[in-house]
Structure formats: C-alpha cells, structure tokens
Amino acid sequence: MSGETNIGTIELGRTGERVSSVALGAMQMGNATAEPEAVRILDRYRDLGGAFIDTADCYEWWARPGSRGGESEELLGRWMRERGNRDEIFLATKGTALPAHSPDLWNADGSANWELARRTFAGAGADTLRHALDGSLQRLGTDHVDLYYVHVDDRSTPLEETLEALAGFVTAGKVRYLGWSNVRTWRLERIRQLCDRYGWPAPVALQQQHSYLRRRAGLSHGSFVDDEQLDYLAEHRDLSLVAYSPIVKGIYDDPARAAEHWMMESYAGPDTDARLTAVTDHAARLGVTPNQLVLAWLLHQDRPPVLPLIGPRTLAQFENLAPAFGLELGAGDLATLDAAGA
C-alpha cells in the first residue's frame, strides 16, 4: 500500500467529462454529521483532490420529526460560498424521493415511518420535478447542478413526461447531465430508447447499491445491481455506475455490526459468509482493513467500471477509508477475491 494518494479521475460515461473516481456523499451532513465536522470532511476530500459531491433534496427528512429535508443542500451551499469553490465542484443532487408532508411520517418514538414515505414519494411528474430542482438550486446557492438524478424510479408517471421535463432542464442550463437511481434494467433500456427516439439527453450515470457482497438469492429489489445489470453496464459504457453503500455501512471491519445491521438482510446467506471470510483473510495478508480492501476492489473493476460513493459520518471514518484510494491490487489479489463465494 502506498502513502497518501490523491483521488484519481474517471470519465463520466462517454461524455468526455473527467470526474473524481470516488464521490463524496453528503446525505448525513447537517444532521447526523454536524456542520463543523461536515466541513472538515469536505475540506479533507478536497485536499486529496476530490471534487464529485452528491446530495439530494430529501436529505435527511427522516433525521428529525417535522423536517422537510434540504439540510444537506443548504450546508453544501454555505460551504461552497465560504470557500468560493463552486466552479471546482462536480455537484450532483436528486429529486422525486421527498414524501408528502404528514405528521404520520414519524412514529411516536421519533423514528421514520418508511412504509408511508414510500407510498407518498413526490414522484417524477414534470411540475414536481421543476419545483424540486428550483428548490435544490436555491438551497445550493447555484444556477445549475452538474448531474441531476431521478432518485426513485416512478412507474406511475409516463416516462415521456419525465424525460421531456428533464430535457428542458438541460436546455435551460439548469442541469448539465442526467442520471437515474433505484431502477430496473428493463426500465433503463426503455428510458434510453425514448431518449434516442425523441432526441432527449439520455442518462449518463446510474446510481445503485453495489458492493463486494452480492445480494441474496431471491431478493426482489430494484435498488441493487444484479448480474443482468452488470452485464448491461459492461456493454453500455456511455452509462457510469455510481455505487452507493459500497462498504455496506462499514460492516466489513466489524463482524458484530455485520451480524446485526438491518442492511445485511439483503445479503444474508452462505455466499456472503464466504465472501466476508475471503475479504477479512486477504485484508490481513495485505496489512489493510477489510473496508479499505473492498473500496480498492471496487476501484479496480472494469467490466463495468465502478465509481464508489462513500458517505463517512465522521472525519475519522473518512481517514480510515483514504488509504484505499492508493491501494494497488494485483491480478492475484483480484482473482482471489473474485473467486470467493458459495
């Protein structure tokens, strides 16, 4: 493993745009991560050459009763104004996933009522998207974002309506590139066909949950990359895979956390057991942490290339991941990790 290494770059789809090979997620900034700590993380990411920052209009409504989200965007807006660095940042945000306001969005103990939230997401109607984007731009203190995602695929709105509205954002200069998240492969292909038919700008980024662990057999969930989607992305290099939850909330370094964390329900099974053992053992041989090894493994993928989106809650968590940016894995390392599984 090398010493401190700057974050590299990767082409976004086939746009010719070079973006940071590791994106920084700001979801928790302004809530779980208080502003002073968030600023330290942002500044440190910039110190290492990182410039791809990801947020959403809904972040983090669920953090406290009564919130309408937007705290993350507001914090980023303040940080960019104070640093005078907006032109240096590749800024991504998202719309469609803010639920309709209701006191019933929070349970008596203050936790989020996710069942209700998922039933009342704002969706991708044209007027909804226009208001969402304008609100994001205001909170971010900018006249445009570099990448705008449909955060949650909306099957109740005609794709033509959504895509025409998104094309209008690009034409107006409010958005440079488009992306989609939490979407099935067949829907993605339909989106691309419509864009081709009508001359609308097609998505260049797909943000999905993806890590070294593979989703368990039988899981039906449109947010996870599966084998079909990996094959599709390998053949369609004009679409970049942005992988969220790349280290699954840090479970690789903490067996006790892995045993109890709710996210592991989506991975549970003998294949995951085998891959956890493999990454733990190989990390020990290399003298790195399992989290670092998984992040480095993702950075070494090329069919398709993977752009990990990390979301450290603290500066210490960011520093614990930073060695992965310069961790070189040989063919033997990759073969060992790829071969593991039930």
Tokens of 69: 């989200």
Render 200-226 in DSSP notation, one character per residue.
PPPP-EEEEE--SS-PPTT---TTB--
> What's the CA gap between 211 and 77, in Å, rounded?
30
The beta strand positions in the chain, using DSSP E, are 9-11, 18-20, 23-25, 52-54, 90-95, 145-150, 175-181, 205-209, 240-244, 306-310
> What's the CA gap between 100 and 326, in Å, rounded?
43
Reduced DSSP (H G I as helix, E B as strand, rest coil) percent helix, strand, coil of the chain, to 5: 45, 15, 40
Residue 60 belongs to some domain of the structure: yes
> What's the CA gap between 227 and 212, in Å, rounded?
13
User: 224 pairs with which residues across the strands?
Assistant: 209
- Pairing state between β 90-95 and 205-209: unpaired
Write out pLDDT tens, residues 91-131: 999 999 999 999 999 999 999 999 999 999 999 999 999 99
Tokens of 333: 């390392």
- Pairing state between β 18-20 and 23-25: unpaired
Q: How many CB atoms lie within 10 A of CB 272?
A: 21
Render 2-19 in DSSP notation, one character per residue.
-SS----EEE-TTSS-EE
- The reply to whether omega before 60 is within 30° of 0 (cis) is yes
Residue 123 belongs to some domain of the structure: yes
CATH of the domain at 192: 3.20.20.100
Residue 61 belongs to some domain of the structure: yes
> What's the CA gap between 296 and 225, in Å, rounded?
18
Domain containing residue 234: 15-250+293-331
Kindly tell me the burial class for residue 11, based on how many C-beta atoms sit within 10 Å of its own C-beta (0-12, 13-18, 19 or more). Answer: middle
> What's the CA gap between 109 and 93, in Å, rounded?
30
Residue 37 belongs to some domain of the structure: yes
pLDDT at 3: 52
- The reply to whether omega before 323 is within 30° of 0 (cis) is no
> What's the CA gap between 301 and 305, in Å, rounded?
5
- Residues 45, 47, 49, 55: is their CA dihedral positive or negative? positive
pLDDT at 220: 82
pLDDT at 2: 42
Residues across the chain: 342
User: 209 pairs with which residues across the strands?
Assistant: 224, 244
Residue 72 belongs to some domain of the structure: yes
Quickly tell me which residue has 């500044």 as its tokens. Answer: 43
Residue 155 belongs to some domain of the structure: yes
Residue 5 belongs to some domain of the structure: no
> What's the CA gap between 221 and 83, in Å, rounded?
40
Question: In this structure, are residues 279 and 293 in contact, taking their beta carbons and an 8 Å threshold?
Answer: yes
Residue 78 belongs to some domain of the structure: yes
pLDDT values of the chain reduced to their tens digit, one per residue, 342 residues: 345 789 999 999 999 999 999 999 999 999 999 999 999 999 999 999 999 999 999 999 999 999 999 999 999 999 999 999 999 999 999 999 999 999 999 999 999 999 999 999 999 999 999 999 999 999 999 999 999 999 999 999 999 999 999 999 999 999 999 999 999 999 999 999 999 999 999 999 999 999 999 998 888 888 999 999 999 999 999 999 999 999 999 999 998 888 888 888 999 899 999 999 999 999 999 999 999 999 999 999 999 999 999 999 999 999 999 999 999 999 999 999 999 998
For the chain, the domain total comes to 1
pLDDT at 303: 95
